[in-house]
Structure 1
């Protein structure tokens, strides 16, 4: 069972036809059909039902598909690891970090990184919600730190490292600041400022949209400035707003319908197509080993 045969099986299952899989692989349809037929013979299983207009996975095919994915992923990881070992220490490393996350754990990791790899140049990109994933997909960044999303594109790998707290806030002179526990109707009556990705592929919001009147920005800093001008209320990561709460410029709101803080997971993200050298692997592993409570701020 060669990786190419398993790839034909996976692509045919995901794209819904042997011809689409062949186009993706740059091969003739007959080559893909033969590869899948030989795979079925080797397995002793019928993986596709060919009685309809398009091939459909059988029960056995559906059960075997995750295993094929796992083998292909393992092969990519093996190749990436071998390339990394052969490459040694890279000259530079690009890290994409979502704005609003607690920076303290990252700074701790970077202090150790600077000592371990003093000659590796580091570039840190400040990304909006979900833009970290786009930067990795484009090959612009080697490693990412971002709030979790429900699913990642194929080839992405991630590990949850902690959580950040999202809290509702407004300016000290905003009408909501003078109210007690807030009902949904109170929130709907005022403009809500929301974090949103600039990516056209994802309309990603931090928190939930309660108001019919929304203003969007990709930067927590921009939203904080709008809040200070009394132009609305927002749900933002606590590390981003804590200094402004401490100074009294912003006020933390209380929901009458929610008894606990909203938590958003934080993921370290990378891709199997992007080879991490020794320096990148060091930073990746250091971030993964940090205690989860460190990220809450």
Structure 2
């Protein structure tokens, strides 16, 4: 019994998006093509994957179980493709890496040094973005590889694996801010004071919080706002220590600082070239 990777991919996309038509639009295919591929997959597997009696197809009990297996097959295929790219001749002319400011590694400079020595003719572009913006840039093919604070979930066409280094996020205010003089700061106190909040182009994060709030898509700009005393902010600890240690105070609030996992992300559809595959494997190495 053989199942095409394309049919498995259509199945996973339809499950993630909640409809065959949405999956067809994303994959630039006819809805009938997606529906037929999933129907044939159900015949091959001998199980019903979707309950079609509802307005929108919903996964059956068997469908939920098969979804996990299908994702594992796609993961294995993705690893196989990366290995093949590394073995094949030829090198991509450019590589774009999109980084979150949550990522900081003492070995990143040495990784870049080795990368430059291995691929001296390759053009490397580095971008800064956060959260869903990182995922979208990778998903669209604008960037080939990304490093982002771990997200709750990812689109089916985006591969991801955690890297060994972790980040820490702390709460900070200017040393001249009134909060700096408070011995025991509580989360209730923070609700009444302006928050300097990270916001992204794709996620309307600010709308989720009531109260006074300024926002930016850049941690560095939030850091500057915090230094100027405009409010308190969640900031990567390495960023605050390196660029504003003399001007900021880390608040001692219960549950803070927080440890953050960082994930490497890439597009399954666009794939990684030889240099991108090497960089990913090196970043994932313990």
Do structure 1's residue 271 and structure 2's residue 270 form an aligned pair?
no
Given that 2:16 and 2:156 are in contact with CA atoms closer than 8 Å, whether structure 1 keeps it comes out as no
Give the structure 2 partner of residue 164 of structure 1. 167
Output the aligned Cα RMSD.
3.1
Unpaired runs of 5+ in structure 2?
Answer: none
Deviations 1:154-196 (A, max 9, x none): 2111111132111111111100011102122321231110111
Structure 1 residues 88 and 233, CA, compared in 2 at 3 Å: closer, same or farther?
A: same
Given that 2:102 and 2:148 are in contact with CA atoms closer than 8 Å, whether structure 1 keeps it comes out as no
Do structure 1's residue 234 and structure 2's residue 237 form an aligned pair?
no
Give the structure 2 partner of residue 289 of structure 1. 285
C-alpha distance in structure 1 between counterparts of 2:147 and 2:24, whole Å: 35
Give the structure 2 partner of residue 114 of structure 1. 116
C-alpha distance in structure 2 between counterparts of 1:212 and 1:233, whole Å: 13
Unpaired runs of 5+ in structure 1?
Answer: 291-297
- Structure ID, larger Rg: 1
How many residues align structurally? 281
C-alpha distance in structure 2 between counterparts of 1:100 and 1:19, whole Å: 36
Structure 1 residues 204 and 270, CA, compared in 2 at 3 Å: closer, same or farther?
A: farther
Alignment partner of 2:245: what SS?
Answer: helix
Alignment partner of 2:196: what SS?
Answer: strand
C-alpha distance in structure 2 between counterparts of 1:8 and 1:195, whole Å: 34
Alignment partner of 1:226: what SS?
Answer: helix
C-alpha distance in structure 2 between counterparts of 1:240 and 1:70, whole Å: 36
Please show how residues 140-159 of structure 1 align to structure 2 within 5 Å.
140-159=142-161
Question: What TM-score comes out, normalization by structure 1 length?
Answer: 0.80
Question: What TM-score comes out, normalization by structure 2 length?
Answer: 0.82
